[in-house]
Amino acid sequence: MIELFSANTPNGKKISIMLEEIAYEYKVTKVDINNGEQFKEQFKKISPFSKIPVIIDHKNNKTIFESGAILIYLAEQSGKFYNEKDKTEINQWLMAQMGYVGPMLGQHHQFHHYNPGKSKFGEERYFKISERIYQELDERLSKSKFLSGDDYTIADIGTFPWIARHEWHDIGLAKYKSLTRWYNEISKREAVIKGFAFMDKNEVIPKP
């Protein structure tokens, strides 16, 4: 059984979606990151940077932090969504999500959604970068069915929950035809619908 320490955020949703996709039994332990629960000594023991998500795989007695590392671990354990032949390609798109797409859209959330009016520079900078990310993902997906090729992989699972916050981004997902095609296709997956609502059963994936 997998224990998932998480919160209802894009990084949190990546792992619940993956666990649903591979049909693993799991239990969610909520970490209240808005009230500083991530800094408790007990949690720091399993998460050195005091961040969610973290999993404990009780069967293998393993604890893993960092969502990309967790996705790779679960993919390797289950033998799903991380084809040997496409590994390098998948790693590229997954690492780009971890190092660029997620952190930049995360900053855009901070300036544009949570703290508008506090910093014109921050708002403009991360709006522009986010727009660029939409464009770059759209270009990739105009040439490729999924991010790393013909198959749905952990690179898509890692990226999807970030684009699913598109209403916060105010960029206009529908203008990006290939990104929207990809988004709609993933939105229909039963495991994605279920994993997306892992903390709030009534939560639905926003339409483009």
Ligand X SMILES: N[C@@H](CCC(=O)N[C@@H](CS)C(=O)NCC(=O)O)C(=O)O
Site for ligand X, rule CB under 6 A: 7, 9, 11, 33, 38, 50-53, 66-67, 98
User: What's the CA gap between 139 and 87, in Å, rounded?
Assistant: 21
Of 2, 7, 6, 8, whose CA–CA distance to 26 is shortest?
2
State which residue, 9 or 187, has the beta carbon closest to ligand X.
9
Residue type, 126: Y
State which residue, 133 or 180, has the beta carbon closest to ligand X.
133
Q: Which residues pair with 62 in a beta bridge?
A: 57
Least distance (Å) from ligand X to the CB of residue 103? 8
User: What's the CA gap between 79 and 2, in Å, rounded?
Assistant: 16
State which residue, 31 or 180, has the beta carbon closest to ligand X.
31
State which residue, 67 or 130, has the beta carbon closest to ligand X.
67
Least distance (Å) from ligand X to the CB of residue 80? 20
User: What's the CA gap between 165 and 143, in Å, rounded?
Assistant: 24
Least distance (Å) from ligand X to the CB of residue 34? 9
User: What's the CA gap between 115 and 196, in Å, rounded?
Assistant: 25
Least distance (Å) from ligand X to the CB of residue 86? 21
